[in-house]
Amino acid sequence: MKINVLKNYKELSSTVADIVEEQITKHPLTKLGLPTGSTPFGMYDELVNKKLDWKSVITFNLDVYLMNITRPQSYQSYMRKNLFDRTNIYPDNSHFPFRPFSAFEDKIKGSKGIDLCILGIGSNGHIAFNEPGSSFKSRTRVVNLDEQTIIDNARFFDSLDDVPTQAITMGLGTIMESKKIVLIANGVKKKSILNQAMLGIITEDVPASILQNHKNVKIYYCD
Ligand code: F6R
């Protein structure tokens, strides 16, 4: 599987923003799968600056922490701040994983599936919050976050103890049904897990390795 190495974070962000732009421009009724975290900040900024028409776009976020959603660290707050409040997307068209999970999955299927899913990768190889050991067939569900994920994400919270220990995530099976997938990774800290996931053996111990089985996936990395 090819890992496209880009010059810097600016190029990473604009490359993936251009892919989203092309998708939305060609297919205004697009359904997007969207990540949070630090890697997509630049992509969201670039997308906002493009002033695209989001009125027919439907979004499905990959995951949410189990926490008070009004707090600034919630992924609902993150998406409002970084994308939704800065575009003309209809609030009713932006979805976060919800209970019952079968209804969330039906919502994706009912909209004819995700056309383009953007992913980040955790330092332990997770995609969305599918931690190592997650079944390749997994669907949307509650998960316990890995110790490594809690440590990695503590930078967004006041202290380690403040980081939620559980989340709701789309499953690997759910993500793999997306028609196109783009994974972005930024920083040397991600290099070895990215190589392992994309060039190593396909194993549930490295959840992102399942992407090697997808027919339309692009990987972008910068140091
Ligand atoms: C978050 C998500 C996670 C992140 C991953 C990388 O919605 O899906 O899988 O993409 O933890 O996070 P950053 O970009 O902060 O390194």
How does pLDDT run across 47-100, given as a tens digit for each residue? 999 999 999 999 999 999 999 999 999 999 999 999 999 999 999 999 999 999
Edge-to-edge strands, sheet with 94-95: 3-5, 217-222, 180-186, 116-119, 31-34, 58-61, 94-95
Q: Give SS3 for 4.
A: strand
Summarize pLDDT for 140-169 with one digit per residue, the tens.
999 999 999 999 999 999 999 999 999 999
State the closest ligand 1 atom to the C-alpha of 36, by its place in the atom list counted from 1. 7
Closest CA to 79 of 112, 123, 118: 118
* Ligand 1 contact, 167 CB (< 6 A): no
Secondary structure (3-state) at 70: coil
d(CA 156, CA 95): 22
Burial of 116 (0-12, 13-18, 19+ CB in 10 A): buried
154 residue type, one letter: A
Catalytic residue annotation = 63, 124, 126, 131
